[in-house]
Copies of this chain bind each other. A is one copy, B any other.
């Protein structure tokens, strides 16, 4: 595809580097930007550059933050004895949206995956132990909120062993049939497991 100007070509190229955006979509976005007022492009450009250059990571949990500590780690309203361990930033946002968790987080930055050559040392696991250590027995429980995949299970298995050795209570988020789903459409593995790990009705 030939573009009428270098500026358009460059903008299409840069926008199409984003995941899920091809050259056709990028060109459509470029046309949109050209048609709307200049201030829209200025704020968009500004938001992108500030996002990348001014965002830092919380020294404690690894969450994106504007300060040394993120808003969860620096909050006095949060229960700092309860750490929820997650794979990445979007998981924190998903859990926050449930409004069911009042503890703090710790971001691993990935999952153990021998196939992809990712071991415990590539994740923020040492940071977790250092953090627990520095809190001098105030951390009571670690919730493993990891994806129910092979990598998630491997990571959970490894962390449960290490954390239990240090006398920390380890729990994992419940797995079973999702709320609102019809039983006959639940996959066999989930359904089978939900029978084995049934809980008392109350």
A48 within 8 A of B: yes
Chain copies in the assembled complex: 2
A25-33, A137-145, A167-175, A176-184 - interface stretch: A25-33
Minimum CB–CB distance from A1 to chain B (whole Å) comes to: 6
Residues 37-76 of chain A, each 1 if its beta carbon lies under 8 Å from chain B, else 0 = 0101111111111111111000000011110001100000
A5 within 8 A of B: yes
| Cross-chain contact A10 with B45 (CB below 8 angstroms) | no
- Minimum CB distance partner of A58 in chain B: B4
Residue numbers in B under 8 Å from A63 (CB-CB): 4
Given contact pairs A27-B90, A34-B52, A51-B33, A6 touches B66 in the complex (Cβ within 8 A): yes
27 contacts between A and B (CB under 8 A): A1-B93, A2-B96, A4-B65, A4-B93, A4-B96, A5-B65, A6-B66, A7-B51, A7-B66, A11-B47, A11-B50, A14-B43, A15-B44, A17-B40, A17-B44, A20-B25, A27-B93, A30-B51, A31-B90, A34-B52, A34-B89, A38-B52, A41-B52, A42-B52, A45-B45, A45-B49, A48-B48
